[in-house]
Structure 1
Amino acid sequence: MNYLVVGSGLFGATFAYEAAKRGHHVTVIEKRDHVAGNIYTKEVDGIQVHEYGAHIFHTSNKPVWDYVHQFADFNRYTNTPIANYNGEIYNMPFNMNTFNKLWGVVTPEEAKAKIEEQKASVNLGDKEPQNVEEQALSLVGPDVYNKLVKGYTEKQWGRKATELPAFIIRRLPVRFTYNNNYFNDPYQGIPMGGYTQIVEKMLDSDLIDVQLNTDFFDHKETYLKDYDKVVFTGMIDQFFDYQLGELEYRSLHFETEEMDVDNYQGNAVVNYTDAETPYTRVIEHKHFEFGKGDKNKTIVTREYPKDWHRGDEPYYPVNNQENNGLYAQYKELAEKQAENVIFGGRLGQYKYYNMDQVIAAALETVTTEFKN
């Protein structure tokens, strides 16, 4: 069969690799001037720069961890972000180091008692939390909320916490250990030499043709007619010409700067949790590979969340009740085209995926498509 894969991110690349392994011809079209989608990394000053924000591979899925190791060796990077609140530094996720800095408590028992005292001071009564602010206060109380949750969340979503539905924060990670590892997953790391190589190796086949700077929507009907099947990883609402209305997304703006210093902030990721700082986090890329690169240079990226408008790059689906209902309607349209089009990835399935989940979803699609 002749497959057209729209988008060269992890979902599209994984599908293309598996289809070619089975002897099928695949054309991959990509509207950007490079492969790898949002996990694209580019070497500058010997530093692998994460062009579209920090990407740390983590998973509890051993088969996926083994699968991705076909294409790269991973280092032992552990995600330990810190929070900067008006110059005060706190560890994340919220753990004993955080609580010691906030309140001077030393033991888990003291920390638990302090959190209960904080929660009691809010006095929400028996009512269910109605928004993010009430939900967070009911979980951790005002100190943690005001310093480490409120400002960051409002910047991330572009709305006041009192206007955001409570389910956005179903829980907050609170740990009563002095452990700064952000993820609970047993497998974690970053590919040595960056992420781009993974997709390049996936697409390195005589049966795969890659076409960059190519927009599916410039020749949509021709593509649908000329290929046996299309794997579409773009926005599902755009595929259907927004005929049921626009789904909501959040977008990002990045400002990257080369600096003539060896070490700018001492950590790969620093979250800015106050409301006054316009960006949500600063990434210093060389720390992902333990300082590898030019000793007299560093690369820093500031990440600014923003509203999405047509023409912007969509990064996150806004999975509230209204949008999920609209997506369900688009999914019904997609199912009517299932013989000809497969919708996949974060945008095609309107779902927030981590990298391991994207690969797992792609492999599940492969199994369904090829029955092996």
Structure 2
Amino acid sequence: MYDYLIVGAGLFGAVFAYEASKRGKTCLVIDKRDHIGGNVYTEEVEGINVHRYGAHIFHTNNKKIWDYVNQFATFNRYTNAPIANYKGELYNLPFNMNTFYTLWGVTSPQEAQQKIKEQREAAGISKPTNLEEQAISLVGTDIYQKLIKGYTEKQWGRAAKDLPAFIIKRLPVRFTFDNNYFNDRYQGIPIGGYTAMVEKMLEGVDVTLNVDFFEDKEKWSNLANKIVFTGMIDQYYDYQHGVLAYRSLQFDTTVLDDVANYQGNAVVNYTDRETPYTRIIEHKHFEFGTQDKTVITKEYPSEWHPGDEPYYPVNDKRNEAIYQKYKQLAEQEVNVIFGGRLATYKYYDMHQVIGAALATVTRELD
């Protein structure tokens, strides 16, 4: 009999298991995949740590969280500076003076601000009612057409005019020559990959993989006094209030035997509508690799269907209304704790997942 059954070996489950074990609690972690780490899982391919489920760059302004993860890994100095490719034209992200110079040839912040202001005013949007209008009112038509529209429509599988404005309440616009995507003080990739980091969190904890909790929910639930559940909350309640919507992703990973450097950057976004994938990741650049080969991954967004991996919650009014019903059920539970992005129907960055897990530990065990 365990104190806690933790369903899901991702960051939330691993942090909870580590903290509970440290306090003398017994934990069993199960996962339906054949590996730990959830979506931050990395595997070595040709001497390169490959991010199997898309690029993961750790970043935070919270020194407490930064110090916490540094218990389990040494982080390198990687800085996220993605490139946007629009039909062969290359632009820096986030939108900054390098972007504006390439777009318009402007060399001063004042010129760039004036250009955006002119385009906003020409659009004449006083109260944005959809994502397209919201984006144009923030950054003008040129940036919207080349760097937002196509990428966003691929990501969400819907026309920008049919998406709610709140999806991009604000866009990062910098009038400096700074290509660092994140403003956070702390940033990097764990040397040796995320899997090694999660392995250290789970040292001494019982872990069982290739197990679907729902194939024998009663059996697994009876193994512990309490459950920490990090899966889909609607599935836990047998979809009784309806199915929550997600966007999914498909990954096409290729080893290039005769190429040492494919694109010169870890992440290149393809922002035109015609290119079917949203980005290409070249994994070696996350750790400044010098291998003779390289590994690239093309990322294809798709509509989520049962059996697919859910990645991004679709936080529109319909889904939020459904989630609130499940949340009310969850709040009535005495022996079940819900945590992580699937169980709370919220998109989290890694530092936010860890922060939420630590807060849960404090409420539960301290």
**TM-score, with structure 2 as normaliser:** 0.98
Matched letter for residue 220 of structure 1: K
1:180-259 maps to which residues of 2 (within 5 A)? 180-205=179-204, 208-259=205-256
Tell me what 2:8 maps to: 7
The offset of 1:223, in angstroms, is: 2.1
Matched letter for residue 83 of structure 1: A
Runs of 4+, deviation exceeding 4 Å: none
The offset of 1:316, in angstroms, is: 1.0
Tell me what 2:353 maps to: 358
Take 2:122 and 2:252, find their aligned partners in 1: how far apart are those partners? Answer: 40
CA shift digits 1:64-85 (9 cap, x unpaired): 0000000000000000001000
CA shift digits 1:61-117 (9 cap, x unpaired): 110000000000000000000100000000000000000000000000111111111
Take 1:123 and 1:326, find their aligned partners in 2: how far apart are those partners? Answer: 36
Matched letter for residue 189 of structure 1: G
Q: Residue 181 of structure 2 aligns to a residue in which SS?
A: coil
Matched letter for residue 285 of structure 2: H
Take 2:317 and 2:59, find their aligned partners in 1: how far apart are those partners? Answer: 28
Tell me what 1:174 maps to: 173
The offset of 1:319, in angstroms, is: 1.2
Tell me what 1:332 maps to: 328
Tell me what 1:291 maps to: 289
Are residue 304 (structure 1) and residue 300 (structure 2) matched? yes
1:65-214 maps to which residues of 2 (within 5 A)? 65-124=66-125, 126=126, 128-205=127-204, 208-214=205-211
Take 2:108 and 2:31, find their aligned partners in 1: how far apart are those partners? Answer: 53
Q: Residue 219 of structure 1 aligns to a residue in which SS?
A: helix
Tell me what 1:272 maps to: 270
Matched letter for residue 171 of structure 1: R
Matched letter for residue 314 of structure 1: P
The offset of 1:222, in angstroms, is: 2.0
CA shift digits 1:29-57 (9 cap, x unpaired): 01001000000001111111000000000
Take 1:199 and 1:90, find their aligned partners in 2: how far apart are those partners? Answer: 35
Matched letter for residue 247 of structure 2: R
Matched letter for residue 106 of structure 1: T
Tell me what 2:49 maps to: 48
The offset of 1:118, in angstroms, is: 1.2
Q: What is the aligned length?
A: 364
Q: Residue 300 of structure 1 aligns to a residue in which SS?
A: strand
Matched letter for residue 344 of structure 2: Q
Take 1:60 and 1:324, find their aligned partners in 2: how far apart are those partners? Answer: 28
Q: Residue 109 of structure 1 aligns to a residue in which SS?
A: helix
Tell me what 1:35 maps to: 36
Take 2:165 and 2:262, find their aligned partners in 1: how far apart are those partners? Answer: 36
Matched letter for residue 289 of structure 2: G
Take 2:223 and 2:199, find their aligned partners in 1: how far apart are those partners? Answer: 25
Take 1:183 and 1:93, find their aligned partners in 2: how far apart are those partners? Answer: 9
Take 2:45 and 2:28, find their aligned partners in 1: how far apart are those partners? Answer: 30
Gaps (5+ residues) in structure 2?
Answer: none
Q: Is contact 2:5–2:223 with CA below 8 Å preserved after alignment?
A: no
Matched letter for residue 273 of structure 1: T
Matched letter for residue 153 of structure 1: T
The offset of 1:325, in angstroms, is: 1.5
Matched letter for residue 324 of structure 1: E
Indicate the percent of aligned positions where both proteins have the same amino acid. 68
Tell me what 2:317 maps to: 321
CA RMSD of superposed structures (Å) = 0.8
Matched letter for residue 264 of structure 1: Y
Q: Residue 210 of structure 1 aligns to a residue in which SS?
A: strand
CA shift digits 1:275-332 (9 cap, x unpaired): 000000000000001124x2x2000000000000000000111111221121111011
CA shift digits 1:234-271 (9 cap, x unpaired): 00000000010001111000000000210000000000
Q: Residue 301 of structure 2 aligns to a residue in which SS?
A: strand
Matched letter for residue 310 of structure 1: P
The offset of 1:210, in angstroms, is: 0.4
